[in-house]
Amino acid sequence: MSIPITIISGFLGAGKTTFLQQILKYHSDLSRILIIENDFGQVNFDTQLLGTTGVNIRELTSGCICCSLQGDFKTALLQTLDQLDVDAIYIEPSGVGKLSDILAACESPEITTIAHVQAAITIIDATNAPLFIRNFGEFFKDQVAHGDALFLTHQELPEQVELTINLLRELNPSAPIHTEDWADINVLEYITESLQPTVYSEETCHCDHWIDRHRYEYTPSGASKRIMSSVSTIPIYVVTGFLSSGKTTFINQQIKLRKMPAATLVISGEDDISHHNLDTLSIQLDNTMTPEQVKTVAHTIQDVIQKKPVREIWLEWNGMTSFQQLETLIYQTQLSRIVHIQHVYFMTTCDFVDTMLGPTGLAPISQLMNADSILLRHENRSREQASMALLKAWNPPGKIIITNYLLWDLHS
């Protein structure tokens, strides 16, 4: 008998693992359930959580099922099924995996001889969905477009929920959208008996085909989407990355190379940071601030610019604040008339890429995906290739530079 496969997709923090736990409550024998977890990095906290339930779990952590790991996924699944007799398979893919490609992998001839896709569920953070559409473009749209059912989480703001539902309905007119509490639904019964999976033709098997056919636009990340106000505006060099990634050291080294360092304004979004004997403007900007609060920060920056001759700005961005908030600060306030983003650097290490990039949430990911240059600190050559492959998966057009940050004028 063919084994049913259920795919549970969604971005980081949407609630995929919680939804999967809700399903497991309705299975009588968890030893006959197989879960395939696919996430970047060497530490998968979701797997540790699910491992306490008694289910069989297989991890794929060195890439994504939808692209670099398709062959590994098929091999791992076939080998596991040779060793285990299971009644159901659940796949929790990476947050930035394309659901259409995961469906294609599951529908390969090797898999369909023993298993079939029963349903594809997409879990959506109702509060952050507009941000995801903007920052993660095709990945988010693909997960929505190919979901047989859409389940919303984080519904604290009614106006935001209504906006999200309208966006989802444009991307997927036919899938049911669920806003009710999961505890009120027997989700296993819903998937196995009530839900009718969508049948995709060859024409719609990939997200970019689907988007073309419906005239949706995808805005790439990085420099290609920069809004250049005017050649006369002041360039901002943005340095992003998590705490202790080397942002301050890198900026200090760049300032040493300036012929007129006094004409450089340094702005820091981190606490208690100073830069090469220059006055540093500290700002506090987090993901919860309102547009009016952001405008207040912009006004502070504008006042400083008007009081001193500024030829360039180096901005050390807070590692836990999303890139969208930066774009709001620069392009949706009075600053848009006097500055522009010239270049975005993302600072990181092999350790951070391998173990922390996913668990630290969406802010560092949004920074990485919008970077023009990715500076990977030279630490361990044996791990560099694996780290570079993961970074490329998140930001294909980004230029990766192996560096120790020392006295290298990257933007001259």
Mean pLDDT of 145-150: 94
Non-local CB neighbours of 215 within 8 Å, separated by 6+ positions: none
Mean pLDDT of 401-406: 69
CA atoms within 13 A on the CB side of 127: 10
Q: What is the pLDDT of residues 45-60, one digit of tens each?
A: 444 545 556 788 887 6
Region of 23 on the Ramachandran plot (φ > 0 left; ψ -120 to 50 alpha; else beta): alpha
The reported pLDDT for the residue numbered 256 is 81
The reported pLDDT for the residue numbered 212 is 29
Mean pLDDT of 284-293: 83
The reported pLDDT for the residue numbered 52 is 55
Q: What is the pLDDT of residues 175-198, one digit of tens each?
A: 999 999 887 889 999 998 877 555
Share of the chain above pLDDT 70, in %: 79
Share of the chain above pLDDT 90, in %: 24
CA atoms within 13 A on the CB side of 304: 21
Q: What is the pLDDT of residues 354-392, one digit of tens each?
A: 787 777 778 888 889 889 999 988 666 777 888 888 888
The reported pLDDT for the residue numbered 238 is 94
Largest Cα separation within the chain, whole Å, is 76
What predicted TM-score, i.e. pTM, was given to this entire model?
0.54
Question: 372 and 222 in contact (C-beta within 8 Å)?
Answer: yes
Structural domains in the chain plus CATH codes: 3-213 (3.40.50.300), 222-403 (3.40.50.300)
Question: 394 and 374 in contact (C-beta within 8 Å)?
Answer: no
The Cα 253–Cα 88 span in angstroms is 55
68, two tokens: 């670099």
Distances (CA, A) of 90 to 2, 7, 98, 105: 14, 6, 16, 14
> Is the pLDDT confidence value at 71 over 80?
no
With b for 16 or more beta-carbon neighbours within 10 A and e for fewer, the 227-262 pattern comes to eebeeeebbbbbbbbbeebbbbebbbbbbeebeeee
Question: 268 and 304 in contact (C-beta within 8 Å)?
Answer: no
Q: Which of residues 390 and 70 earns the better pLDDT score? A: 390
Lowest mean pLDDT among 29-38, 130-139, 140-149, 309-318: 130-139
The reported pLDDT for the residue numbered 72 is 64
